[in-house]
Structure formats: structure tokens, C-alpha cells
Amino acid sequence: MPIVGVKDTRKQQLIDATMASIAELGLQNTTIISISRRAGMSSGIISHYFGGKQGLIEAALRYLLGQLGRELRERMARTDGSPEQRLQCIVEANFSEFQRSELTAKTWLSFWSRSMHEPGLQRLQQINNARLYSNLRYAFARRLPKQAATEAARQVAAMIDGFWLRSALSTDPQEGFAAAETLCKRFALNALNPTTNSPAQV
């Protein structure tokens, strides 16, 4: 079991405080002071560990991306690796309890809105998009021709992002996320088996 040092613990506390500040105040109004107060640390430690607010903001986004990847790997480890199970794991990871939590959802929404204006956040968002597409395409390519796999991956990636965003902004996000997960799974499995007339079981 890896030993977590004081430095790593403090960094994670600052990342958690950053997400809490963004969820409450928004990314624009989140400051070094608002973060340090929530973390119970001096503002100078942010510069020491992250080089400033922007470095910490990007670290928080990398943390969200890391959590997404970890959840997918954990789910995949419990399957036989079939295309069907791979697709279901991808959808489940994107709609996991962590990813649909209020704190995480508000943080993602703030990042998305700012990524159009900040190259660092835009680069991380593009990495996230590329990983989702790549994972989906790998699953589809095990069953479908190359072009069909590419089209299916693009469609499902768009569905996941679109339904996630719509659910996060709805009046009842949790109900929306649950319905979105079911619909995305069904669409993905039907795309994997286009000649099957009966609805895919999820």
C-alpha cells in the first residue's frame, strides 16, 4: 500500500477546497484566499505547491480526469472485457456517483465554460474528449467495421456529454443522470449490434 506523505495530503486538501470554492462561488470568483480559507492553510502554500491559482485550478481538473480513469479501470477489472461490457463500463464511469455528485458536477460545468477562454483548461478538456472517444472506438472496433466503429464512437461520445450536461442543469439532476445512463447504455449496445431488432438489455 502506497504511503501518502504530508505534501500529497496537503495538495489533495487544496484540490478539495478548490472544488468546494468553485461549487459555491463559481470559477471566476474563486480566489487564492477563498481556497486557502476552506483548506485552513496559508495562501502562500498554494504558490509553493502549484505556482498560483491557475496551476491549482488545472490540478483540480486533472484530479477529476484521474478519478474518471480510475473508475473506468476498476469497472473493467471486474469484467471479461467483451465489447458489451466495455461499453457499459464506459457509460457507468461517466455517470458514476462521484461524477454525478453536486460538487463534481458544478466543478465540471465551471471548467467547461472557462475552457473556451483558457488554453490550459482547453487542452485538458480535449484530452478528456479524446480519451472518451478512443475508449469507445476500441470497444466498437472489436465488432464493427472501421468506419462504423468510428461513427458509433462519435455518436455515443456526443450522447454521453450531451445527456450529462442536460442532467447536470436539470431541476432534478439525480433523476436525470439515472435516465441518461440507461439511455446511453441502450444506444451504445444497439449501435454495437445494429442488426438486432429487439432493444438491448441494460
- Look up the domain containing 56 and give its range: 4-192
Q: 199 lies in a domain? A: no
Q: 201 lies in a domain? A: no
Q: 119 lies in a domain? A: yes
Q: Which pLDDT score is estimated for 70?
A: 96
**Which residue's C-alpha cell is 438486432?**
196
Q: Which pLDDT score is estimated for 200?
A: 47
Q: Which pLDDT score is estimated for 195?
A: 77
In eight-state DSSP terms, residue 193 is S
Instruction: Tell me the C-alpha distance between 83 and 142, whole Å.
Output: 7
Q: 27 lies in a domain? A: yes
**3-class state of residue 37 by DSSP:** helix
Could you tell me the pTM of the whole model?
A: 0.88
Per-residue burial over 107-121, b if 16 or more Cβ lie within 10 Å, else e, is bbbbbbebbeebeeb
Closest alpha carbon to 15 in 55, 44, 68: 55
Q: 79 lies in a domain? A: yes
Q: 94 lies in a domain? A: yes
Q: 200 lies in a domain? A: no
Q: Which pLDDT score is estimated for 177?
A: 97
pLDDT by position in tens, the chain (length 202): 444 577 889 999 999 999 999 999 998 899 999 999 999 999 899 999 999 999 999 999 999 999 999 999 999 999 999 999 999 999 999 999 999 999 999 999 999 888 888 898 899 999 999 999 999 999 999 999 999 999 999 999 999 999 999 999 999 999 999 999 999 999 999 999 987 644 444 4
Closest alpha carbon to 135 in 104, 92, 176, 97: 92
Number of domains in the chain: 1
CATH number for 183: 1.10.357.10
Please provide the size of the chain in residues.
202
